[in-house]
Amino acid sequence: MKLNDEVPLTDDEEENEVKNTIQQTVSHFTSNTNKSDCRIRLEGRIGENYILKATLDEFDEFRMKKNMSDYMKYKEKDECYEALESIASKVNARDADMRSHIILSMFKVAEGEANTPDPPPSSSSSIHSSIQPFISSLIALFILHRITEL
């Protein structure tokens, strides 16, 4: 963003800017690494902390029904997690790209977490594996911590 671009004024605008910025950064990463485009969703915000989730659109119907297979969960991790780890690493290392970005520069600490099953055996496990219900799946979770100075 350029310095003369408008800075978000409300919490909703800020949340949208953060989500869109991470989406753009993830999309850039996945396109350069031949991975699927992952959708970034804002899962929540606690104070200055943003909790974002990366998912694949192709599994939305199963996710809504809480009916994703282990294979689907693993595929989301395989396609999306590396991008989140890359962003977190750059934020934590105070990378020049992150420091110079109007939105990303406000974050001082980032963490990526994947809560998925082990990869399916290469033998005969495929998308046709049995679909098992699950309660909660944080496939690729990304947490941004904004530290405000007093």
Structural domain spans, the chain: 11-119+130-145
SS3 call for 61: helix
Tens digits of residue pLDDT in 70-120: 889 889 989 999 999 999 899 889 999 888 988 888 888 888 888 776 766
pLDDT of residue 139: 39
Residue 8 has pLDDT above 70, yes or no: no
Q: How far is CA 67 from CA 98, 101, 118, in A?
A: 37, 38, 18
- The pLDDT of 121-141, averaged and rounded, is 38
Q: Which residues contact 125 (CB under 8 A, 6 or more apart)?
A: 71
State the Cα–Cα distance between residues 90 and 111, nearest whole angstrom: 11
Mean pLDDT of the chain: 77
SS3 call for 109: strand
pLDDT of residue 48: 81
* Model confidence band, residue 132 (pLDDT cutoffs 50, 70, 90): very low
